[in-house]
Amino acid sequence: MITSNSELVRTWMQRADQLTNPDNEQREQQLAYVEEEFYELLYAYRNESRAQVIKETCDLLWVTYGLLLTLGVDPDSAFDRLYTSNWSKFPFTKVDGKVQKGSNYKPVDFSDL
């Protein structure tokens, strides 16, 4: 049973033969997909329906998971680490609506991934 979005993407990419010994060329292609979907999201946000914005946002998530997978990174593990780091920002202040790092902040460490 598949339990996470990254597992869904991994399964699809394996069936599409996109994770067999990912090389630099595959990683570059995946990065190009991220760039393409990012600009499609911007366009949809400024010009199209809410439904199209949701679709493009999900496409961007999909290809971002794919990039992490081609880098040999478990997206769920990486996201969990980022989640923990973000919670360490409490207590925090906001500047222009953006959360600023509080005194308890611990930066995320991805060096071993």
Q: What pLDDT, on the 0 to 100 scale, is given for residue 64?
A: 98
Kindly report the pTM of this predicted structure.
0.89
Query: For 12, how many CA atoms within 13 A lie in the half-sphere containing its CB?
Result: 10
Tens of each residue's pLDDT in the chain, 113 residues: 778 999 999 999 999 998 877 899 999 999 999 999 999 999 999 999 999 999 999 999 999 999 999 999 999 999 999 999 999 999 989 999 999 999 999 999 999 99
Q: What pLDDT, on the 0 to 100 scale, is given for residue 20?
A: 79
* DSSP bridge pairs for 98: 95
- SS3 for 5? helix
Residue type for 41, please? L
Residue type for 74, please? D
Distance of alpha carbon 46 from alpha carbon 32, whole angstroms: 22
Residue type for 48, please? E
Q: What pLDDT, on the 0 to 100 scale, is given for residue 3?
A: 85
